[in-house]
Each structure stands twice: as structure tokens, then as C-alpha cells.
Amino acid sequence: MSQITARAVSLELAGRRILDAVSLQGGAGRFTGIIGPNGAGKSTLLKILAGLLRPTAGEALLNNRPVARLTARALAREVAYLPQETQVAFAFPAWEVVMMGRHPHLGRFRAEGPRDVEAVRRAMALTGTLHLAEQPVTTLSGGERQMTFLAKSLAQEPNVLLLDEPTSALDLHHQLRALNLIRTLCREGMAAIAVLHDLNLAARYCDELVLLCRGRVLAMGTPAEVLTPANLKEAYGVTALVRADPVTGCPQVVAFDEEDGSLAGRRIHVLAGGGAAGPTLAHLFRRGATVSVGPVEERDPDALLASALGMPVLTYPAFHHVPDGVLQEVARWLDQADLILAAPVPLGPATAPLEQPLWGRRGLPVGPGPENQAPLPH
């Protein structure tokens, strides 16, 4: 069981501080993701852990031993590093490229043995590249080459796997395959640290995340602890909604386009429900409008979205008639609004009180049919 650590690591290059007292720890059985905007120092930190760069302060440790004091061979027997760029100048067959991962385990004049062949075969089988064994690596697609070099890293049989954007050249199927494989290997005792740009994939597969911003650790913890709207705003400068993915249960990040403030100061009330108003709520939020929503059933997608966006929402229990008190409050909100938008909400007995006088009070069409639905502005 291995552990790799960055202890208060700082790095200056050409008078510019790239990393500032960064600490993290990757342990056996854990998949750690390093996230952050461009230029945050993610790849630099990974290179320090891999022994490719020496920090100007602090140190990288492998099992409490300074990485800087280990020989390249000793380090490579424990740690495999997969860089962003995987270009090869010569047309080696893919099998030979993967076999290069066995060099740390071979003596200077020792030929590959059955164990080495089996390690390569297993690594290529795990990554789905065995059928590419005889193909020149220079003829492979970017995704095939990426998976081949992942196989090379696995053929090292490392205890620690460091990966710099391992899914950047992969299609959706191979992204999932690669990250599933890494997570499975971690469950078997490996430690993995990966730089990832796709926040939703990072949230889905990583046990913990380290968010770097301007060379410092802004947040560290579980995906739910790190991927918050406030952290994303500070690190990436974007407004984002974070909610549980309905399939995986993991945090899901939905970033908004840049806000333009064209509706700032306008009070708009949205009659919503059934998830029909989602795009409109997001549109109004981005434009800076002061939005109120309701009445809408508790746990309705529109209610959840409005609450997440900080909009006041009037709710009532699901499968119940709208209470008189809620209707009275809605009437007050409508009187205060500069504009009322009615989403195409499915109507039924429970929502009948909304048709008159609420939906008809400002000349909006009333009724369940498509011909009576007010168009939503874009």
C-alpha cells in the first residue's frame, strides 16, 4: 500500500509563482481528482509528484521518502505517470510501446520474460487495446493512442498512478471505460491522482477533489464539498447550479452563460410547474431579473430550480389543492410584478383555482389547450 504526498509545495518559474504552499495526499484505495481553471498549476503539481520538477519550497513524498532522493528506476517501480501529450516519433507497434512500461522492472541486459508478457497482455486487455497490438502507434487515432499509453502505465504495475487529463482525447464510451478502470484499480488498492477538466466526470468517479485556483488550494474534500456555486464562482468566474444527478446521485454542475443584466430591476412572476419553466427561469436569472415563482408543488423540478437560484417560491403539498392562503399570497406577488409569465403548466382539478382570477387577471390566456398557452420570450 503506497501513499504519495505534496507537503507545502511551492514553485516559482521566471519570477512567477506557479504553486503556493500546496498540500495534498493520495492514498491507497483513493481516486483523487485535481480540478481548476487553466493556469491554476494542476499539471505542474502532478509533475512535482512524479519527480519531473523540483519545488522551490516544500517537498513531494512517496511513502514518507522524499521523491527527489529516489532514483528514476526506484520511483518508476512505484509510480506511473501519464502526461497530456503522448506523441511518438517512431512507428513502434502498440505492443512494444506498452512493453516499455516494463523497463523499470528489467535489468540492463535482461530480456522480457513471461511475467512481463503477461503484464502487457493484461494491461492491454483492461484498456481494450489488445486488438491494436501489431499496429504502428503512429497510425492510431488520438483516443486509441491515449488508451495505449494508459496500458503502458498499467504495465508498470504501479502502486501510484498519476494521470494528466487522461480523458482529453477520448470519446464518451472510452472516457467512461478509462475512469471506471481507474476507479476499479483503486478499489483493489492502487492510489490514483488525475487532473480532470470535466467537473461532472470528476464528481462521478473521484473519491475526493482538490480545487486549485491561482496556484493555491481553494477547496479540498468530497465532490459535494468542493463543487459548490461559491467555489465555482471564485475559481472559474462562472455562475453555476449544482444539483444531484438523477441517475448517479453525484453532484452535477450546470454553468450559465455570462450574465448580461438586461432585465435588472424588473420584477417578474412566473407561474410554473411540472418542470415546464426551467429554461425560462434560467434565462431570467442570467438577465438579472427579480423573479418570484409559484404556486408550485413541493419537490417539483421548477420549485427546486427556483430555490437553487435563490428565487422566492410559493409551494404547496403535492397532490393537494392550492390552499387559500397560498392563493392570496400569489395574488399579492402578482400585483407587485411588472410582468407575469405563464409556463405551459398541465392543468387539473388541483390547479383549477389558478385559472380564474389568477391566470386571467392580466389578460393571459387561460386553459389547458396549446392554443391557450402564453408564449415564453427568448
92-130 per-position pLDDT tens digit: 999 999 999 999 998 766 778 899 999 999 999 999 999
Architecture per CATH, domain 267-372, reads as 3-Layer(aba) Sandwich (3.40)
Of the candidates 182, 185, 187, 155, the residue with the CA atom closest to the CA atom of residue 166 = 182
Q: Which three cell numbers stand for residue 184?
A: 476499479
pLDDT of 257: 81
d(CA 243, CA 252): 5
Instruction: Please enumerate in sequence order all residues whose Cβ is within 8 A of that of 193, keeping only pairs 6 or more positions apart, or say none.
Output: 4, 24, 26, 32, 33, 34, 46, 49, 160, 161, 162, 163
Determine the CATH number of domain 3-244: 3.40.50.300
The model's pTM is: 0.85
pLDDT of 218: 98
Q: What is the pLDDT of residues 313-352, one digit of tens each?
A: 999 998 888 888 888 898 899 889 988 888 887 666 655 6
When pLDDT is averaged across residues 358-377 and rounded to a whole number, the result is 46
pLDDT of 322: 84
pLDDT of 246: 86
* CA distance readout (Å), 193 to 18, 306, 311: 19, 36, 38
Q: Which three cell numbers stand for residue 271?
A: 407561474
- DSSP string spanning 162-183? EEESTTTT--HHHHHHHHHHHH
Segments making up each domain of the chain, as ranges: 3-244, 267-372
Q: Name the more confident of 4 and 324.
A: 4
Lateral strand order in the sheet of 267-271: 313-316, 290-297, 267-271, 339-342
> Is 3-244's fold the same as 267-372's?
yes
Lateral strand order in the sheet of 57-62: 16-27, 3-13, 57-62, 65-66
Q: Name the more confident of 86 and 361.
A: 86
Q: What is the pLDDT of residues 251-307, one digit of tens each?
A: 999 988 877 888 888 999 998 888 889 989 998 998 889 999 989 999 899 998 999
* CA distance readout (Å), 342 to 131, 226, 359, 362, 367: 57, 36, 8, 11, 11
236: three-class secondary structure by DSSP: helix
